[in-house]
Amino acid sequence: MSVPENMEFFIDPARCIGCQACVQACSECDTHKGHSMIHLEYVDRAHSVQTAPVVCMHCDSPTCAEVCPADAIKRTEDGVVQTARKPRCIACNNCVLACPFGVPKMKTDFKLMMKCDMCYDRTSAGKKPMCATVCPSQALFFGTREQIERLRPRSTPNNRFWFGAQTITTKVNMMVPKTAQAQYIDVTAAMSERAIGKEITLNILTDAMYTGEEE
């Protein structure tokens, strides 16, 4: 069994409302029962409501697998980078530190790296991954390209990422605005970027102050 070719994963962090439904649902997945593989973080909680939902992007040339000394990470023919094979993983942490997206997790007491495998038990049987099934804002969406184009007319999927001088292409797509006409998503250029929403917070305070003065 493999993931059907026409079914793709589309992620749009800008739509994430931080509800954690994906975190809870992820831990229900049969391939890693009880452990959530999705990362959901507040980017800068003091100043912004922006959240960062990150699943495995399933790279075409996965750095995690290349730097694995035990050859424990395999990419199946359908492009899914599987979690570490249990007999082989020696828990060295290389993959955790090398993944450009910061995805793998280390379960040291199991001597095992664990990561999102796109709910392979479900997607290889034609179902949606747990996170995409429960995401209320569809920040995590699993479906066909036609469906996403119909649902998000202002966005377009992009699967090319820049990290310094390295381009990484992935099976998972990130939704970006059509108007940006982006050939790639430059991750390292966002090094000094600030969370969306800080200015809004300040504006609220400033507006309130001005309103008070007028009265």
Partner 1 sequence: MNKETIKATAWGLSVALVVAALILAGSRNLSHFDAALVGYTFAVLFAAFAITYRYAMWLQRPPTAIYWKRGWQVFFRPRHLALNIVNWFKRVTSEFVLNAFIFRRGRARGGAHSLIMWGCVIATAITFPLTFGWIHFETLPGDLTWYRAYVFGFPAFSFPLESWMAFLIFHGLVWASFLVIAGVMLAMRRRMRDHGAVALQQFGEDFLPLILLFAVSITGLMLTASYTWMKGYAYDFLAILHAITVIFTLLWLPFGKFFHIFQRPAQLGVSFYKDVGAREELALCRRCGQAFTSRLHVEDLIQVEKQLGYKYEMEDGHYQWICPRCRRAMLVLAQGRLWEGPSSTDATEAGVSSVMPQSSFGNPQTDFGPLGEEDRTNFHP
- Of the pair 144, 196, the CB lying nearest partner 1 is at 196
Q: Which H/E stretch holds residue 205?
A: helix 198-214
For CA atoms 15, 17, 22, 23, the dihedral sign is positive
Stretch that binds partner 1, among 104-112, 130-138, 144-152, 203-211 (CB under 8 A): 104-112
Stretch that binds partner 1, among 50-58, 130-138, 144-152, 203-211 (CB under 8 A): 50-58
- Interface of this chain with partner 1, residues 12 to 41, rule: CB under 8 A: 12-14, 18, 20, 23-24, 27, 29-36, 39-41
- Interface of this chain with partner 1, residues 53 to 82, rule: CB under 8 A: 53-54, 63, 66-71, 82
| Of the candidate residues 4, 6, 60, 93, the single one contacting partner 1 (CB under 8 A) | 93
- Listed residue (108, 103, 116, 105) closest to 32, CA to CA: 116
Q: Closest distance between partner 1 and the C-beta of residue 12, in Å?
A: 8
**Terminal CA-to-CA distance of the chain, rounded, Å?**
69
Q: Closest distance between partner 1 and the C-beta of residue 211, in Å?
A: 24
Stretch that binds partner 1, among 129-137, 141-149, 160-168, 205-213 (CB under 8 A): 160-168
What are the distances in angstroms from CA 81 to CA 72, 104, 187, 202?
11, 11, 21, 42
What are the distances in angstroms from CA 53 to CA 69, 102, 159, 201, 214?
29, 12, 16, 22, 42
Quote the CA–CA distance of 159 and 129 in Å, as a whole number: 19
- Interface of this chain with partner 1, residues 109 to 148, rule: CB under 8 A: 109-112, 114, 117, 120-121, 124-125
| Of the candidate residues 151, 189, 200, 204, the single one contacting partner 1 (CB under 8 A) | 189
